[in-house]
Chains A and B, each alone.
Chain A
């Protein structure tokens, strides 16, 4: 199994993600190859919390052009982790 630090890349810091902290939902950018089970254990291990649920979504990379050359930014995967009641991650935005 992948190490926790290979699964979780960094927190998603945005208005929406910061807002969801109140509902005990923490959003991370994760390794595109990681699955929900891996993410769950990674978060539990890293933050010493109990995870209730993990939802994931893939973010397709954008098509970028440099003149006539078409490029693509890499795909990413976001995971929204809901913690079990009573758990929280301190300093989420400060990771």
Chain B
């Protein structure tokens, strides 16, 4: 078998594949035998008609075509292997010559994985935000907890103040007619929470327990119910109870009540620590993402259309699976978001392009930097993952293998490491910048 690789466009390759005449004609003979077994030629028992009779009966073209089809697939696969290309779409096959006694020649047009032109990917000096937790933030958190654990004290004798929680019965009328959804009983309403239409809560301030009062408020113009929007409404309200939040003082006693710590200072320390870890995590994630984005932006890749389409399909399929868990079909979803298939495709396109490009760039860098993952590494990562999910490693491995995701798992580790490397080489608050400069020089020389 001879293969001629031709690069037509940037990411399009045409493979001219030649299958030897011998192989082709023996394939034709096989086909003739097969056909002989399937058709009735008068004068012959099934399968007994000789080749030339069959040829006359079904036509030579037919035999050649039939013989060619099972040859093309394996020949294509072999050609791809030999020519070391990485196809990302189905090949378009064009037969150039298919004649008995001559070589079988066909062309396969296929989109291949694009080559990545890496831009600068070291020494980008991307600053990492410093972790800062201020006293105020801690105080805020404490206050939030204080609020959370506040006691509700019934106020029997007194007026409604801002932030109080009132229990009310209410009924709303527009032009003297009660409207749907405007009635409630024993409704707990926090004044100032903005749960009711604007103006309502404020008018309750100053009311007393067991007082009945009328509240006149207009529905806002942009109210979600069209029938009510912009109309003046009258609510007959009865205040049944008033409760006031009473904050417990922030002291050791409070710390003991709400946490496992004995003193307020310990609690404060703990809050600080947790805040630092969580912001650190957030910042370093952001930092990583920023570096990756920068590196990806610096690189240039021309993505083949087929690859993008495949990815979009995959994304939409994922979406469909997720939706089906909620019992929604994809069509229902389309109509729900007031869209259609084409628009959703278009929307996902950006995401698809971004993710493919990121993957390709990371892969290219991993290749260039020689980042690989050994089986032991995979094993280790699996152990970690298994532990996190509280499952046995064997179970996990089985699941991964069964779904054929072992390779993906490996790729995931490689790209994680690549990102680690990128982070290491692109952080600006790293001291030894000398090495990075060197790398840059090499990059430029190339």
Give residues in A with beta carbon < 8 Å to B.
12-15, 17-18, 93-94
Contact = CB atoms under 8 A, between A and B. Distances in A.
Given A14-B43, A14-B44, A94-B52, 14 more contacts: A12-B43, A13-B43, A13-B53, A15-B43, A15-B44, A15-B45, A15-B48, A15-B49, A17-B43, A18-B50, A93-B52, A93-B53, A93-B56, A94-B56
A53 B419 CA distance: 91
Interface string B17-60: 00000000000000000000000000111001110110010000
A93 B52 CA distance: 8
A18 B52 CA distance: 11
A93 B49 CA distance: 11
A80 to B, nearest CB: 15
A68 B53 CA distance: 39
B107 to A, nearest CB: 34
B interface secondary structure, majority: loop
B78 to A, nearest CB: 37
A94 B57 CA distance: 11
A22 B56 CA distance: 20
Interface size, B (range): under 10
Contacts of A14: 43-44
B365 to A, nearest CB: 66
Contacts of A15: 43-45, 48-49
A25 to B, nearest CB: 16
Q: Output the residue of A12, A15, A94 with the most chain B CB within 10 A.
A: A15
Nearest to A14: B43
A94 B50 CA distance: 12
Contacts of B56: 93-94
B67 to A, nearest CB: 21
15 contacts: A12-B43, A13-B43, A13-B53, A14-B43, A14-B44, A15-B43, A15-B45, A17-B43, A18-B50, A18-B53, A93-B50, A93-B52, A93-B56, A94-B52, A94-B56
Nearest to A12: B43
6 A-B pairs with the lowest CB-CB distances in the bound complex, closest first: A14-B43, A15-B44, A13-B43, A15-B48, A93-B53, A93-B52
Contacts of B49: 15
A13 B44 CA distance: 8
B98 to A, nearest CB: 22
Nearest to B52: A93
Nearest to A21: B50
B163 to A, nearest CB: 104
A15 B50 CA distance: 8
B39 to A, nearest CB: 14
